[in-house]
Structures are given as C-alpha cells and as structure tokens.
Amino acid sequence: MAAPGASNPYGWIAQSLKTLHRANWYRQVQAIDGQGGPKISIDGQPYLNFASNDYLGLAGDPRLIAAATAAISRYGTGSTGSRLLSGHRPIHRQLEQAIAQLKGTDDAVVFSSGYLANLGTLAALVDHRDLIVADRYNHSSLQMGARLSGAVLAVYDHNNLEQLRQNLTNLRHQYRRCVIVTDSVFSMDGDLCLLPEILTIADRWNAMIMVDEAHGTGVLGDTGGGAVELLGCRHHPMVQVGTFSKALGSLGGYVTGSAELIDFLRNRAATWIYTTGLSPAAAAAAKAAIAILTQEPKRLTQLAANANYLRQRLDTLPNINRLPSESPIVCIQVKDAATVLSLGQHLKHQGIFAAAVRPPTVPTSRLRMTVMATHTEGDIDRLVEGMWSFWAEKSGKEH
Ligand SMILES: *Cc1c(COP(=O)(O)O)cnc(C)c1O
C-alpha cells in the first residue's frame, strides 16, 4: 500500500484524459459568434450551421429579444430565489399557462432546464419500491433521473416493444409503481418512439408514461404540440417533459400533465423546489416563442419540408448509410470515430458545420445534421455536395 502523500490523488485525471485522446473521444468547445441561425461565424470564418437545435430559427428573433429585454427591465436579471420563496414572478405562471395550452393539458410547471425537469420528475414519481422501464437510447437526463430515483431500472433495446413487454411480464408484479420512460424524438438518431403502442402496453400493465418531447415540441404536430400531437395521443394521461431551449429558442424545462401531477411536482420535485427560478428574460423569450409558433404555422411546414429535402438528397448518394429519421435530426452512420472526425473536418474546410458524434455519446459514430426552418434548399445542397466530395476524395486516394 502506498504511504499517505506518496502519490498524487489527482493523478488519475491526466491518465483519464490520455485515454480519451487515444480513443478519439476527447471533446472541446468552440466559440460561435453572433446570434446563431443557419449562418454562423467561428474564429471569424463563416459557416453554414447544421448543428443547431434552434429548429424554427427563433433564438435570434427580434420579438424574442424584445420580450427578454422588456422582462429584464421590469423584473431584473435574476429571479432572486426559488419559486416557492421569493423567485416566482408573473411571467413564470404566464409561461406555464402558455405551454399547457400548446400541449392541451390541464397544467404545467416550468423548471430551470430540461435536464433538471427530468431529474426531478423521475425522482419524485418513483423510488426504490418502484420500476422504471426505459429505452436504451434515452437522453442522459432520463438515465441520470432513473439513477437518482433509486427505482429498479430495466432497459429495453431501442424501440424494441417485445423486450419492453418482456420486462413488464418478468418484473412488474414485484413493484409498487411503474413508469415507462422514452424520448419522443430520439435526440442522437432522429427517429420517433412507438407511442401509441407503448400507451396500450402501459395501460395493460398499470404503468405511467413519461415522454420527453425536447426535440418534438415546436417541431412536430399540426400546432407544434410535439410527437404526442403528431401521433394522436393527446387524450391519453401521461407525463410530458420538454425544454424551451430547442425549437422555442430560449432556456428552461417544463412538465405538462394533469393538475394533480403538476401540483404534486411543485411539492415533491427537489430540482424545482431547491433551485433558483428560471430567469425572467428566459421565461419571457419562451412565452414569445410559443406565441409566434401559434401565429406562424408556416415555420413548422417549412421545417418539415427542409428535413424531407435533406433526406431525399442524401438518399440519392451511393454508399451512404442514413439512419431512419422522422424529424429534423438526420444522421449518417460512419465506420469509426476517426472517420467521422475527418468527415467533420472536411465539411468545416468547406464552410459547413455539422456534429461528428462519437461514443460514449452514441453507440456508433455518426455525422448528425439538424435542419432549421430558415435554411434554404441551396444551403442543404451545399451540405450534401460537401459530404459527397469527402467520399469522392477518399475513394480517389484509395485507388
Ligand atoms: C436537450 C435535451 C434535454 C435537456 O434539455 P435542456 O433544457 O437543454 O437541459 C432533455 N432531453 C432531451 C431528449 C434533450 O434532447
């Protein structure tokens, strides 16, 4: 055994970093200047942006900026306390009513982020006496929420309903409550969960459903209500969570559902009770975004048309393995981490910014592209041509 003080107790951190570098898993930030949108600037260079969650192009919209600025003038920059003490402002309640209306639910509660909404909601709904059955590809916040809750976690392979049923058959009777947890739009793949089927299974097994609409809200459904709306499931009781940080161009998370559910969370969700209320500026911007979504439904149809166009263009290229997608998230699978990094670099040289996503974020390396309502067909053509030239150059070198 090493004598106390003989070794550096932090030495393992440098070792871990080395391992990350060796596996091509190391990641770092890059600063994007300006307001986001389809055209961005990094280190003074212009890029077409296919890595944004700002699906409707609202994050830089003058009306959101005006709403945030007005809220700051009226309420100040910080909400100065937790919601149950001094941090609750009228703008929070207005936002809760607006998102509940968009979702067609009784009520809603606004958290400081989607990540916190997921942690706090799962930990409030279930504990060690209970069972969580979850899709393998669920977002990190749902996986961490499951751990935090202390409930027994059974994971089924992505969208594998047979395994979902099998888990319930084997385990459901041993536990008090049960919740089936799934992303509605899978964030790293872009496909949808099989919600109508999952609802039927949940009913059969007396299980709750928690569905994460982070990439569905403001993206899918006739009014932007999300995958729940698109798939015709709005009438069914469930726990819907999501974020204002993606299509709605702001920041903050929410849970919508029955009045009892929301009332219960206000009393039991630790990540809501013991954190400072969402800033007035973020709340006001999110509320303005919901109003624009309702007034300008053309943004939704344009977003869907752009996603379709990208998928169609990619499918004309030979030897491209496009993953199934029913959303503005479109991925092509790439052999390994090194290849996807060089593809990302190649695109960057062409002035195109798209995410090279690698393990451990996802099981297999991929280029992940997101389209926005504000992209033009010409922008998408440039992306596809940039990608095509990567493989053309590669096969040229190999021959
Ligand atoms: C982004 C995301 C979250 C977290 O939302 P934030 O508001 O950014 O914390 C949760 N779930 C999914 C599926 C997401 O994509």
- pLDDT at residue 2 tops 60: no
Does residue 271 line the site of ligand 1, with CB under 6 A?
no
pLDDT band at 132 (very low <50, low <70, confident <90, very high): very high
Q: Using alpha carbons, list the distances in angstroms from residue 19 to 16, 55, 153.
A: 5, 35, 29
pLDDT band at 189 (very low <50, low <70, confident <90, very high): very high
Cα of 114 from ligand 1 centre, angstroms = 5
Instruction: Provide mean pLDDT across the span 352-381.
Output: 94
More confident call, 314 vs 363: 314
- pLDDT at residue 3 tops 80: no
- pLDDT at residue 144 tops 80: yes
| Per-residue model confidence (pLDDT) at position 5 | 59
Encode 36-73 in three state secondary structure: CCCEEEECCEEEEECCCCCCCCCCCCHHHHHHHHHHHH
pLDDT band at 393 (very low <50, low <70, confident <90, very high): confident
Cα of 187 from ligand 1 centre, angstroms = 9
Predicted confidence (pLDDT) per residue in 304-348, tens digit: 999 999 999 999 988 889 999 999 999 999 999 999 999 999 999
Nearest atom of ligand 1 to the alpha carbon of 116: 9
| Per-residue model confidence (pLDDT) at position 237 | 97
Does residue 183 line the site of ligand 1, with CB under 6 A?
yes
pTM more than 0.85:
yes
Does residue 114 line the site of ligand 1, with CB under 6 A?
yes
More confident call, 34 vs 93: 93
Mean pLDDT score across all residues of the chain: 95
| Per-residue model confidence (pLDDT) at position 319 | 81
Does residue 215 line the site of ligand 1, with CB under 6 A?
yes
Does residue 112 line the site of ligand 1, with CB under 6 A?
no
Contact criterion met (CB below 8 Å) for 82 and 273: yes
More confident call, 219 vs 391: 219
| Nearest-CA residue for atom 14 of ligand 1 | 214
Does residue 187 line the site of ligand 1, with CB under 6 A?
yes
39-42 β-sheet, strand order: 32-33, 39-42, 45-49, 352-353
- pLDDT at residue 353 tops 90: yes
Predicted confidence (pLDDT) per residue in 100-115, tens digit: 999 999 999 999 999 9
Cα of 118 from ligand 1 centre, angstroms = 9
Rounded percentage of the chain residues whose pLDDT exceeds 90: 89
Nearest atom of ligand 1 to the alpha carbon of 245: 7
Nearest atom of ligand 1 to the alpha carbon of 251: 7
Instruction: Provide mean pLDDT across the span 169-178.
Output: 98
| Per-residue model confidence (pLDDT) at position 1 | 54
| Per-residue model confidence (pLDDT) at position 391 | 86
- pLDDT at residue 200 tops 70: yes
Cα of 211 from ligand 1 centre, angstroms = 12
| Per-residue model confidence (pLDDT) at position 398 | 56
Query: Which residues, listed in sequence order, are joined to residue 74 by a DSSP beta bridge?
Result: none
pLDDT band at 4 (very low <50, low <70, confident <90, very high): low
Contact criterion met (CB below 8 Å) for 178 and 172: yes
Nearest atom of ligand 1 to the alpha carbon of 138: 13
Cα of 214 from ligand 1 centre, angstroms = 6
| Nearest-CA residue for atom 5 of ligand 1 | 114
